[in-house]
Amino acid sequence: MKATVNPVDQHVVTLTIEVPAAEVDKGIKQAVKRIANQVNIPGFRKGHAPRRVLEMNFGKEAILEEAFEVLASQNYSAALRENDIIPVSEPEIEREQFEEGKDLIFKATVTKRPEVKLGDYKGLEAEKQDATVSDEQIEEQLNNIREQQAKMVVAEEGATIQKDDFAVIDFAGSVDGKPFDGGEGKSYPLQIGSGSFIPGFEDQLIGAKAGDDVTVKVTFPEDYFVAELAGKEAEFKTHIHDIKRKELPELNDEFAKEASSYETIEELKNDLRKKMEEEASRRAIDTYNAELIQTAVKNATVEIPEVMIEDRVEQMIQELAMNMEGRGLKLDDYMKFSNKTIEDLRSEYKESAAENVRADLVLDAVATEEGIEVTPDDMNREIFIMAQSFGADPKEVWDIIAKEGRVAMLAGSVARKKAARFIIDNAKGAEAAE
């Protein structure tokens, strides 16, 4: 096999690959064997039907097509290895010459992985954030717990609706005097000021009392997710059943007993402080580490092929779809609810996709430059962590990864993590956590 590389542009190359006639003959024999193993021919054991019989049943062209697939795949891979080219796109194959008894000549045009020129990635500096927790933050967290423990009570007789009250209402909406789907509700608890209803609806209930009937007039937003209602004026006949308000418990020992496993409010505060300081410390370390990695990435020079960004965007969309499915939703439903198209999503993801690809390329380059290797122990540790996060058996996780052919992808991810750790450990005055 002989391969000649011709650059098309900064990222794309065309490989002209020549395969000797003798190898072509071997490829045809391989193709005959593969087809024979895939079909049942009466009178012949599977895998033993001769070429002439296969040609009678499927035609000579079918055998040559199979042979070309075999030869092109084998020699394209060999040409990539020989020329140290890592492809980031599927190749466009063009046949130049393919006849039995002659050399095979074909071209493969492919986008190659870009070269990274590393800048400084050792001895970097980043600001260490303050991880202290103030008394005000403790009080804020206590108030959040109070909110969770609050009871809803009916407001005193004669009370009027105020912001943050819950108005228990019946409502019936109409547009041009006609009711519409989804425009009616019974005993609905609406929090005033939550913004959960059409803009302007909640404000018109302020000042009303239990038992009142209020006619609310609003205009649906122009970008409302139901196209038939977008921009339309609507009227809601609204009856107020009750007004309910939050009753917050006092911050005392009794509250601590009901809200936690502690006997006193001081014990609860101490526990909150300890947990919040641990969390603040983790965030400070994560931020410090992330800044070091970002600096190393910014210091490097690399031009990213558009196809790599597009592939990462598609991967991000697939991950979103999987997350939606995990919650019992479909991506199409999410798109309708958010009033977006797939193209909108691609546009939103493009910038972060480019940043992700750039970071991966730089970390890969650091791993190569420093001779970082991924050991079996590294892989086992990663599999164990993944299994824990999914609540699965490590062997099952490994079997799935191996079956889907993602072992190399996982090894690459582990190598990048080790490269990131190298950058962190080699920072100035690094105090990185394991």
* Per-residue pLDDT reduced to its tens digit, 172-216: 999 999 999 989 999 999 999 999 999 999 999 999 999 999 999
**Both structure tokens of 403:** 């079956």
Q: Is the pTM of this model over 0.75?
A: no
Q: Average pLDDT, stretch 413-421?
A: 96
Q: Say if residues 63 and 31 touch (Cβ distance below 8 Å).
A: yes
Q: What is the pLDDT of residue 47?
A: 81
Q: Say if residues 382 and 413 touch (Cβ distance below 8 Å).
A: yes
Confidence band, pLDDT 50/70/90 cuts, at residue 92: very high
Q: What is the pLDDT of residue 284?
A: 93
In angstroms, rounded to a whole number, what is the distance separating the alpha carbons of residues 265 and 260?
10
Q: Average pLDDT, stretch 377-401?
A: 91
Looking at the predicted structure, is the pLDDT value of residue 277 above 90? yes
Q: In the chain, what percentage of residues exceed pLDDT 90?
A: 75
Confidence band, pLDDT 50/70/90 cuts, at residue 139: very high
Looking at the predicted structure, is the pLDDT value of residue 94 above 60? yes
Amino acid identity for residue 432 in this structure: A
Looking at the predicted structure, is the pLDDT value of residue 434 above 50? no
Q: What is the pLDDT of residue 73?
A: 94
- Name the strands in the sheet holding 92-97, side by side, starting at the edge strand that comes first in the sequence: 2-7, 12-19, 104-111, 92-97
**Both structure tokens of 257:** 């007993």
Q: What is the pLDDT of residue 430?
A: 64
Confidence band, pLDDT 50/70/90 cuts, at residue 372: very high
Confidence band, pLDDT 50/70/90 cuts, at residue 310: very high
Q: What are the strands, taking DSSP E only, across 33-146? A: 92-97, 104-111
Q: Average pLDDT, stretch 304-313?
A: 95
Residue whose tokens read 């009901």? 258
Q: Average pLDDT, stretch 284-307?
A: 95
Q: What is the pLDDT of residue 431?
A: 54
Confidence band, pLDDT 50/70/90 cuts, at residue 45: confident
Q: Give Cα 177 distance to the centre of its chain.
A: 45
Q: Average pLDDT, stretch 133-137?
A: 93
Q: What are the strands, taking DSSP E only, across 163-315? A: 166-175, 178-191, 213-219, 233-247
Confidence band, pLDDT 50/70/90 cuts, at residue 432: very low
**Both structure tokens of 432:** 């990185």
Q: Say if residues 96 and 106 touch (Cβ distance below 8 Å).
A: yes
Q: Say if residues 420 and 363 touch (Cβ distance below 8 Å).
A: yes
Q: Average pLDDT, stretch 352-380?
A: 96
Q: Say if residues 18 and 103 touch (Cβ distance below 8 Å).
A: yes
Amino acid identity for residue 82 in this structure: E
State which H helix or E strand residue 16 sits in: strand 12-19
Q: What is the pLDDT of residues 154-166, one digit of tens each?
A: 999 999 999 999 9
Q: Average pLDDT, stretch 65-81?
A: 95
> Which conformational region is residue 20 in: left (phi greater than 0), alpha (psi within -120 to 50 degrees), or beta?
beta
- Chain mean pLDDT for the chain: 92
Confidence band, pLDDT 50/70/90 cuts, at residue 60: confident
C-alpha R_g of the chain: 33
Q: Average pLDDT, stretch 2-23?
A: 95
